[in-house]
Amino acid sequence: MLIESRPATDPEIAALVTAQQRELRAADGGLDGQATVTHDDIRYLAVVERGRAIACGGIQALDAETGELKRMYVRPAYRGRGVARQLLAALEELALRQGHTRVCLETGSYLPAAIGLYRSCGYRPIPVYGEYVANPYSVCFAKRLPVAV
């Protein structure tokens, strides 16, 4: 398994984001209104196995201190193998390299596996922020990243 940087325009990233959005719409019954737009300023990482991207996630700068985790997704056939946990650690490293000392994220209240992953990796609940404030299904988390002294 390899984790590598990919541009937002990468066709495999686009395919993973499309699959993620389709799965989210099915999970929430179409109520959440998730956006399907990819952002060009997201720095993506892809998990690659046998030459195929099987998972992705990105970091988007909210401000100099804070990076936001975006579009975290693992293809269903690869879940339960620790892929998401490894990808999340790599995304945190990417955030640190970008100068962020904090990572925040939004997920849906109807995604208990995602919430469990984030909590088990040290993310703590925070108030809903930004574009998610009006969404009753949004739950937000943040984690302060360890900074070497």
79-97 tens-digit pLDDT = 999 999 999 999 999 999 9
Question: How far is residue 103's CA from residue 66's CA, in Å, rounded to a whole number?
Answer: 6
Residue 62 is given by DSSP the state S
- Say what percent of the chain tops pLDDT 90: 82
pLDDT at residue 68 is higher than 50: yes
Q: Which residue is it, tokens 């209240």?
A: 109
Residue 33 banded pLDDT, cuts 50, 70, 90: low
Residue 102 is given by DSSP the state E
Q: Which three-class secondary structure state does DSSP give residue 126?
A: strand
* Measured CA distances, 68 to 31, 80, 120 (Å): 23, 24, 18
Per-chain mean pLDDT for the chain: 91
Q: What is the pTM of this model?
A: 0.91
Question: How far is residue 99's CA from residue 97's CA, in Å, rounded to a whole number?
Answer: 5
2-104 falls under which CATH superfamily?
Gcn5-related N-acetyltransferase (GNAT) (3.40.630.30)
- Total residues belonging to the chain: 149
